[in-house]
Amino acid sequence: MHIEAFFDPATSSNTYLVFDADRTRCVVVDSVLDYDPQAARIRTDNADRLIHRVAETGARVEWILETHVHADHLSAAAYLKEKLGGRTAIGRQVTVVQGVFGKLFNAGPGFATDGSQFDHLLADGETIMVGSLSITVMHTPGHTPACASYLFTDGDEQAVFVGDTLFMPDTGTARCDFPGGD
């Protein structure tokens, strides 16, 4: 397993590329789409860095995973899927969050609350395979009801991606004051 982190200073967010042992397949975790609130514009700088890196390695993107629906940045999952392929996925409890926020922000009847924006809704305990990588989904609610952590295993190596379930000291706390958070 080989892991590369891409830091977005505007949101203090990390996006990860996780490669299998022979580095021919990879997974994107928590992609970031640039948003400038003053200009109300979206850019793809962060996502384009990932696209460039994947092209350099020649690896094939198999999955684009989100640990949760982010309030502090936009996801680049749809853009990355268009450019790199792969399937988008998030924990299946995302439908709860979509229902709550759809009502809270008066999203209207055209806003889908069934998770259909993603290719696959992941269940707690589900395992997906990417080359030599085994990825186990762990439902870790608290920050939001839909948070999922991903345990990557490759032989004797393991890494877990927790999104906003856990924060580094002196950087903040995993907020649980969102609707449905506890």
Collect all residues with Cβ–Cβ distance below 8 Å to 175 and sequence separation of at least 6.
143, 164, 181
As a whole number of angstroms, the distance between CA 69 and CA 94 comes to: 7
Q: Identify the pLDDT of residue 169.
A: 45
Rounded to 5 degrees, what angle do the CA atoms 35, 111, 141 make? 75
Domain 2-161, CATH class in plain words: alpha beta
DSSP 141-153: -SSSTT-EEEEEE
Q: Are 97 and 144 in contact (CB under 8 A)?
A: yes
Return phi, psi of residue 77, to 5°.
-55, -45
Average pLDDT by stretches of 10, the chain with 182 residues: 92 91 97 85 92 98 88 81 97 79 78 84 96 95 80 97 63 48 47
pLDDT the model gives residue 182: 47
Which residues make Cβ contacts (< 8 Å) with residue 133, sequence separation at least 6? 1, 18, 20, 21, 25, 27, 152, 153, 154
- What tokens were used for 97? 């969050």
Rounded Cα distance, 107 and 114, in Å:
14
The structure tokens 């295993």 sit at: 153
Quickly count: other Cβ atoms within 10 Å of residue 140's Cβ. Answer: 23
The SS3 of residue 92 is: coil
pLDDT of residue 70: 61
Angle at 171 between CA 170 and CA 172, to 5 degrees: 100
